Chain A
Amino acid sequence: MNIVVPVRLVPDLVEEINVDPGGTALDASWLRLIINEFDDHAIEQAILLKERGGGQVCILAPSVEGVDDVLFTAAAKGADRLVKLEGLTDVGLSSHALARALAPAIQALQPDLILTGVQAHTDLDGPVGPLIAESLGFPYVGYVASVTLQAGSASVRKEYPGGLVAGMEVRLPAVLGIQAAEKPPRYVAVSKVRQAMQTARIETQAAGEIDASGALAIQRMFQPEAAGRATMIDGEPAEVADRILEILRESGIV
């Protein structure tokens, strides 16, 4: 079983985020990147599958600042192969462009299963998983929270809003969008990451062509703006309730 986990790094929201003077992207000079939380779960799910049934786990990531730490940490957890893709330095890259750039590298790894985070907070253009699946012609199931492998197929648990859960079977190779691994991502001691830095090797590959066609174009990016539209209603609770009802009627809501 050859499991490939494409991951990406996203702006760390612990640090302040600013819009660049152009007004359509984040100011990259102050950004500090962190692994997309859902991708971290995808790595954990891949390692859990490897521990249960064997196989090889390959992590694939754009070559941006901080990527080596992400890859060595994955190696310390049990990933076998680490690949970073040159030429994908723009963190604001659209999901369409990212998926097309990742697809040839993923294909070259001849995967049986591709696990990736179901979403990222930089997904202004929709999640990347289905777009990768489309590029490769593989089936896709998203919002997956559990995976069991058998010959030629995977049984997955897909979560729906409202607490609904579906059991599904998908033929392999397939792309799964991981909502949550079966267990929270494990802690890996600093000494183990250091060991991985000594022993693991990061391969570098060129990313595919960057083609953003079909992606949404960002017209304007801005901080939420405070608007003065709220009206405070004074008075006794009954009067206030009457006034609220009146407003709702006036605006045609009730």
Chain B
Amino acid sequence: MALSAGSPPVASTSEAFFGKLYESKDGERIRRCLQCGDCSGVCPYGYLMEFPPSRMITRLRADEFDEVLASDAIWLCLSCYACTQVCPKQIPLTTSLMTRAKEELLLAGRVPAELQAALENSQRYGNVLGQSPRKRSEWAKGLTPPVPVLSKEHPSTEVLWFVGDYPSYHARVQGVSRALAKIFHALGVDYAILGADEVSDGDSQRLAGERGLFEMLASKNSQAFGKYKFFAIVTSDPHAYNAFKNEYPGLGISYPVWHHTEFLADHLDALRPLLTREVKARVAFHDPCYLGRANGIYEPPRELLGAIPGIELVEMAHNRTMSLCCGGGGGGMWLDGFHWEKAHTRTSEWRVQEARTAGADILAVACPYEPVRFEDAAKVVPGAEGLLVRDVAELLAEALGE
């Protein structure tokens, strides 16, 4: 069909998508791709994807990106940064290519049902679990000393503890919050939480393609932050950490932020003498994707574990930059059914198997997605039934004794 004279050329799907990639930070580096295929090889689910990252780029260059967007296999992407980590040309594959492709599917309304529920919950309740926002600080009920909550009467603190969705609401992960409160108290940290003013950091929703939702949640958190005075944010959630450190500043929301393992390692001189109770165990540390690969923090959690009397640290086959995702990133936390349908296996099971092979009694973690995922996996991996999964904060709290 001939175009009438003067009508503007219509951009193809591939051209339009190129345009969107260039808008994201360092997105133009996509042009450097050598087609070496390392990204697809290192991807935990690459073998299942119709179009793993390198093949997505092939189709993009061939002006055939429609075919990529017609596949739903992109939802297998765990945003784990493994591809970004190995790329010899430093293409930000996770934040540009993979996330932008998910955004396209999401805008077209092609969202797996389980993910839809998590996104709708985030919109309505400010947390992915669909719990009452008023009950956000119920985990702290009955703790002595009480966990301070910021309010008009208590408007300032040194450390703002951003608790996060799972540490606030999930029965298992609430234990990590209580452990961290105990450590803060033991160290005499001047801290407080936001209580009902806090909403989800939104980072995993962003990486699942819901940019607008991320911005909405960020703006709500920003309003809450703006009401109070504090010097730094501390969080036990690497996803929240990543959001505050790397994404919120782009929206004009900028605060110093520490992951709890970073913060506690910084206070190790004060903490060490308090760690009096022996925890006799071989412990393997699982590097969370958003603490390790995405933000380069590998040693502080190991320093903390090394300071606990009785603990012998062992390493799993995949560690530090080569760590293996628990399966919860990039929306994976809310795609279990979808992933099972496609893969009939879970990365959390592989990880638990590795911990077992390394001879660990305890798999130590530092992300709120992990206790749940790994404990669930340990139930079905032969020989891993006895494996304990503990956040670094839980092990430290145990070593504090009474």
Task: Specify whether A and B are partners.
Answer: yes
Give chain A residues whose Cβ lies under 8 Å from the Cβ of B120. Answer: 187
Give chain A residues whose Cβ lies under 8 Å from the Cβ of B130. Answer: 14
Q: Which of A93-142 contact B (CB under 8 A)?
A: none
Give chain A residues whose Cβ lies under 8 Å from the Cβ of B119. Answer: 187
9-residue interface stretch from A55-63, A152-160, A190-198, A243-251: A190-198
Nearest residue, chain A, Cβ from B121? A14
Q: Which of A170-205 contact B (CB under 8 A)?
A: 184, 186-194
Nearest residue, chain A, Cβ from B134? A15
Say yes or no for B88: interface residue by CB 8 A criterion.
no
Contact with A along B29-64 (1 / 0, CB 8 A): 000000000000000000000000000000000000
Give chain A residues whose Cβ lies under 8 Å from the Cβ of B215. Answer: 190
A144 to B216, CA, bound (A): 36
Number of interface residues of A (CB under 8 A): 14
Give chain B residues whose Cβ lies under 8 Å from the Cβ of A184. Answer: 113, 116
Q: Which of A186-231 contact B (CB under 8 A)?
A: 186-194
Q: A14-B125, A14-B130, A16-B132 are in contact. Are A189 and B213 (CB under 8 A)?
A: yes
Say yes or no for B124: interface residue by CB 8 A criterion.
yes
Give chain B residues whose Cβ lies under 8 Å from the Cβ of A191. Answer: 107, 211-212
Give chain A residues whose Cβ lies under 8 Å from the Cβ of B111. Answer: 187
Say yes or no for A34: interface residue by CB 8 A criterion.
yes
Contact with A along B301-342 (1 / 0, CB 8 A): 000000000000000000000000000000000000000000
Say yes or no for B156: interface residue by CB 8 A criterion.
no
Give chain B residues whose Cβ lies under 8 Å from the Cβ of A190. Answer: 123, 210, 212-213, 215-216
Number of interface residues of B (CB under 8 A): 21
Say yes or no for B131: interface residue by CB 8 A criterion.
yes
Among A184, A186, A190: residue with most chain B CB under 10 A: A190
**Inter-chain contact B107/A189, CB cutoff 8 Å:** yes
Give chain B residues whose Cβ lies under 8 Å from the Cβ of A189. Answer: 106-107, 210, 212-213
A6 CB to closest chain B CB (Å) equals: 22
Among B130, B210, B212, B215: residue with most chain A CB under 10 A: B212
Say yes or no for B109: interface residue by CB 8 A criterion.
yes
A158 CB to closest chain B CB (Å) equals: 25
Q: A34-B124, A187-B116 are in contact. Are A14 and B131 (CB under 8 A)?
A: yes
A194 to B210, CA, bound (A): 13
A10 CB to closest chain B CB (Å) equals: 14
A107 CB to closest chain B CB (Å) equals: 33
B340 CB to closest chain A CB (Å) equals: 20
A77 CB to closest chain B CB (Å) equals: 9
Give chain A residues whose Cβ lies under 8 Å from the Cβ of B106. Answer: 187, 189
A185 CB to closest chain B CB (Å) equals: 9
Q: Which of A52-79 contact B (CB under 8 A)?
A: none
Nearest residue, chain B, Cβ from A30? B134
Contact with A along B176-218 (1 / 0, CB 8 A): 0000000000000000000000000000000000111101100
A190 to B124, CA, bound (A): 11
B344 CB to closest chain A CB (Å) equals: 25
A21 to B116, CA, bound (A): 38
A250 CB to closest chain B CB (Å) equals: 44
- Which of A16, A187, A193 contacts B109 (CB under 8 A)? A187
A194 to B214, CA, bound (A): 13
**Inter-chain contact A194/B113, CB cutoff 8 Å:** no
**Inter-chain contact B113/A188, CB cutoff 8 Å:** no
Nearest residue, chain B, Cβ from A184? B113
Q: Which of A12-42 contact B (CB under 8 A)?
A: 14-16, 34
Give chain B residues whose Cβ lies under 8 Å from the Cβ of A14. Answer: 125, 130-132
Give chain B residues whose Cβ lies under 8 Å from the Cβ of A15. Answer: 132, 134
A15 to B124, CA, bound (A): 12
Nearest residue, chain B, Cβ from A34? B124
**Inter-chain contact B216/A192, CB cutoff 8 Å:** no
A191 to B124, CA, bound (A): 15
Among A34, A188, A189, A192: residue with most chain B CB under 10 A: A189
Give chain A residues whose Cβ lies under 8 Å from the Cβ of B134. Answer: 15
**Inter-chain contact A194/B212, CB cutoff 8 Å:** yes
A64 CB to closest chain B CB (Å) equals: 16
**Inter-chain contact A188/B132, CB cutoff 8 Å:** no
A190 to B210, CA, bound (A): 8
B68 CB to closest chain A CB (Å) equals: 19
Contact with A along B216-235 (1 / 0, CB 8 A): 10000000000000000000
Shortest Cβ-Cβ A-B pairs, 8 listed: A190-B212, A191-B212, A187-B116, A190-B213, A187-B111, A186-B109, A15-B132, A14-B132
Other A-B contacts than A14-B130, A16-B132, A189-B107, 14 sampled, CB-CB below 8 A, are A184-B113, A184-B116, A187-B109, A187-B116, A187-B120, A188-B109, A189-B106, A189-B212, A189-B213, A190-B212, A190-B215, A190-B216, A192-B107, A192-B212
**20 pairs, CB–CB < 8 Å, chain A vs chain B:** A14-B125, A15-B134, A34-B124, A184-B113, A184-B116, A187-B109, A187-B111, A187-B116, A187-B119, A187-B120, A188-B109, A190-B210, A190-B212, A190-B213, A190-B216, A191-B107, A191-B212, A192-B212, A193-B212, A194-B212
User: Which residues of B does A touch, CB under 8 Å?
Assistant: 106-107, 109, 111, 113, 116, 119-120, 123-125, 130-132, 134, 210-213, 215-216
